Amino acid sequence: MYLVLNGTRHFIDIDGAGLVAQGPAMVPRPTMILIHGGPGADHSIYKPQMSGLTDLCQLVYIDLRGNGRSDDGDPADWTLAQWGDDIRALCDTLGIVRPIVYGASFGGVVAQAYATRHPDHPGALLLGSTTARTDFEAIYAAFAALDPKAGEVARAYWSAPTPESRQAYFETCLPLYATRGLDPDIMARMIVKNPVAMHYNGPDNEQGRFDFRAALAQVSCPALVLSGECDPIMPPEFGRALAQALPNSRYAEIAGAAHMIDRDRPRAFFDVVLDFVSEVAPLCISND
């Protein structure tokens, strides 16, 4: 389906029931909003594996403006503030209160933008393979530790993104995002929009300027921060620093996983996520 949020048409998909019949009662479930990585990717990176969460909550997928099946809108609005406000507008439009907001990688940065701009709104945060601030030198070093050529290619792309350096990055560095290898079906079905990545990525663009560490102190909802032990693009020290900046958080580092934790170590990923969602669910259900 499509919804107009803050003047731009967004693609939205919903999986699972918000009300479940249990004997004589209709029992509400919390809603989880899933924010994809990228920028320039789409919500399909979460399908079908995240459907396993529908036993506990209703899932709402969104393609952010400029990404996937959503309209581009004005490129001047491809900002963390606008993307964060679009998540709030999604909730207001659908009547979602106290959502569990899941964001991985760039999606985790957007989730932080939403939470710091609307600190009393989220019911809980799930932040995977992400950071409160981009440390490019740490990223280059992490890639170089896995493959010296990958370190060079990562530096060439992230320091000055171009379509050519982005293609080289996809060929050399992207395979290191998963310890079990990339699933070719994921790449085949994902809608990739390079212009939004060129607009956002790099030290001279917003990726190099954001720093949520201080603002996260006002976000009091429960939060779970996940890192992959072998993640070169979001090394574990990023996740640990993010968890320290959140006043009501816990941190889990998944052994043997790189950036795509849910793909590399699905059992460990879902064990910790299901435990967290089960715990916070009563806090994230509307009694209206």
Q: Assess whether the previous peptide bond of 175 is cis (omega < 30° from 0).
A: no
Reported as a pLDDT band with limits 50, 70 and 90, residue 270 is very high
41 close to 170: Cβ distance less than 8 angstroms: no
Amino acid of residue 40: G
197-216 average pLDDT score: 97
Give the C-alpha separation, 169 to 52, whole Å.
32
| pTM for this prediction | 0.97
- Asked whether the predicted pLDDT for residue 107 surpasses 70, the reply is yes
The mean pLDDT of the chain is 96
Strand, helix or coil at 201? coil
C-alpha triplet 72, 234, 246: angle, nearest 5°: 90
What are the tens digits of pLDDT across the range 24-53?
Answer: 999 999 999 999 999 999 999 999 999 999
2-19+27-284 CATH, one of 3.40.80.10, 3.40.50.11540, 1.20.1250.20, 3.40.50.1820 = 3.40.50.1820
Amino acid of residue 49: Q
134-150 average pLDDT score: 98
Reported as a pLDDT band with limits 50, 70 and 90, residue 186 is confident
What are the tens digits of pLDDT across the range 52-63?
Answer: 999 999 999 999
Q: Which two tokens stand for residue 248?
A: 């009501």
100-117 average pLDDT score: 98
Query: Residue 288 has what pLDDT?
Result: 58
| H or E element that contains 277 | helix 266-280
Query: Residue 287 has what pLDDT?
Result: 59
Give the C-alpha separation, 115 to 126, whole Å.
11
103-130 average pLDDT score: 98
Torsion of CA 143, 146, 147, 152, to 10 degrees: 10
235 close to 242: Cβ distance less than 8 angstroms: no
Domain boundaries, the chain: 2-19+27-284
- Asked whether the predicted pLDDT for residue 2 surpasses 70, the reply is yes
204-218 average pLDDT score: 98
| Residue 1 Cα distances to 9, 63, 230, 232, angstroms | 10, 11, 37, 35
247-255 average pLDDT score: 98
Q: What number of CA atoms fall less than 13 Å from residue 103's CA on the CB side?
A: 30
216-244 average pLDDT score: 98
- Asked whether the predicted pLDDT for residue 286 surpasses 80, the reply is no
Amino acid of residue 5: L
| Residue 98 Cα distances to 90, 94, 140, 235, 288, angstroms | 12, 12, 37, 30, 12
Neighbour count for residue 174 (Cβ, 10 Å): 14
Please list, in sequence order, all residues whose beta carbon lies within 8 angstroms of the beta carbon of residue 38, skipping any fewer than 6 positions away.
Answer: 64, 67, 105, 106, 107, 196, 197
Give the C-alpha separation, 148 to 158, whole Å.
16
End-to-end CA distance of the chain: 25
Strands 2-5 and 8-15: antiparallel
- Asked whether the predicted pLDDT for residue 187 surpasses 90, the reply is no
